Amino acid sequence: MDPIIISLIGLALAIGVPILSAAISIIICGTALAGVGTEKPELLSRLLITVVLGEALAIYGLLIAFMLLGKLPDITTMDAANKALIAGIIISVAAGAAGAGISYSGSSLIAATAENPKTFTSNVIGVVLSEALAIYGLLIAFMVIGQI
């Protein structure tokens, strides 16, 4: 297969899957947030963190896609193309996992905080740790791109 096609598949994965997972986490957390907003609007500013952390997943995908786009002219060998594909796969899997984590723990965090606002500080850890998963994937994807 043509190296360019392979690296383009990597690029598509790198932008597509993180955006999907960001969308899923925003859909789930955003609807939960809207429900809480009607009852306890004072909690909204705190709970907004779930939606924005979900959005950040798309940004990580965007970053890797940008970097791959910049590397496209250099990709001539199959070896480099495979690395581009692998980088795309890494960030998509990591963002997918982080998206699942944010969706589940984010919506639970919102419901729990609406019930008892004191639990926010301990429960938010679930959301931010899920989001950290994407950062680990991002770092490794980044290092793989650096080797192209």
Q: What does the chain come to in residues?
A: 148
> Please, are residues 7 and 81 in contact by the beta-carbon 8 Å criterion?
yes
Tokens for 50? 């779930």
- Count residues binding another protein (CB under 8 A): 27
Residue nearer to another protein on the CB measure, 24 or 43:
43
Q: Which amino acid is at 113?
A: T
Lay out the site mask for another protein across 111-130 (x = CB under 8 A, - = otherwise).
----------x--xx--x--
Q: How far apart are the first and last CA of the chain?
A: 18
> Please, are residues 111 and 35 in contact by the beta-carbon 8 Å criterion?
no
Of residues 38-77, those binding another protein (CB under 8 A): 41, 45-46, 48-49, 52-53, 55-56, 59-60, 62-63, 66-67
Question: Which stretches of the chain bind another protein, using CB under 8 A?
Answer: 41, 45-46, 48-49, 52-53, 55-56, 59-60, 62-63, 66-67, 121, 124-125, 128, 131-132, 135-136, 138-139, 142, 146
